[in-house]
Amino acid sequence: MQRDLIRYATTDSLTGFLNRRAFFADAIEACSAADAGSPFSVILFDVDRFKRINDEHGHQAGDLVLAKLGASVRTVSEGLVGRLGGEEFCLLLSSDLADAIEVAENLRQSIKALDFTEIGSFEVTCSFGVAEWESGDTIDRILRRADIAMYEAKNTGRDRVIAADSFVVTDRHDKWRGVARAATTRKQ
């Protein structure tokens, strides 16, 4: 019974991923290995136009999208995955940037191929931001870079993978918004 209560308290019921609180507790622990020199990358992703799915097909359709997305992610990667809120997710990998980009691209294709004919005819895509651990990083910093990359993917057409090292971080990014900042500012 205690194991069940712990599982319910730490797991998102729709996707089977860690919930936000449990994810960040594990993420901080995972960063210790990265500090010791192990490869470490983050994939932050978000369902494109999720509100439209809920508005046009109902919240039951949105729930099915999240459940199928969860199953799809588990078949592509064995990293630590958390549902950070709504339709936003984070995957932590013990890999370098090139491997993380490959995982993100496989996820992008897998999610895009999902079939929802039982509730309507529509396609689901995601935008991905990928960042690799850098010396002196914290979970906040790496998530910030991944968040900026994810929003760059959204701003340049959605349904794509953008690596944090593929664009210059400028002063305009000092005012960034997104799930990574909202999730991590309380940790400081």
Question: Which amino acids are annotated catalytic?
Answer: 87
Task: Report the DSSP beta bridge partners of residue 162.
Answer: 129
Note the Cα 95 to chain centre separation in Å.
16
Using DSSP's 3-state secondary structure scheme, residue 17 falls into: coil
65 token code pair:
């999208």
Contact 130, 104 (CB under 8 A): yes
Question: Within 13 Å, how many C-alpha atoms sit on residue 172's CB side?
Answer: 5
According to DSSP, the residues that pair with 149 across neighbouring strands are none
Parallel, antiparallel, or unpaired for β 80-85 and 88-93? antiparallel
- Closest by CA position to 143, among listed 178, 175, 168, 170: 178
How distant, in Å, are the alpha carbons of 11, 16, 25, 88, 120 from that of 133? 26, 26, 17, 20, 40
The residues pairing with 85 across neighbouring beta strands, listed in sequence order, are 88
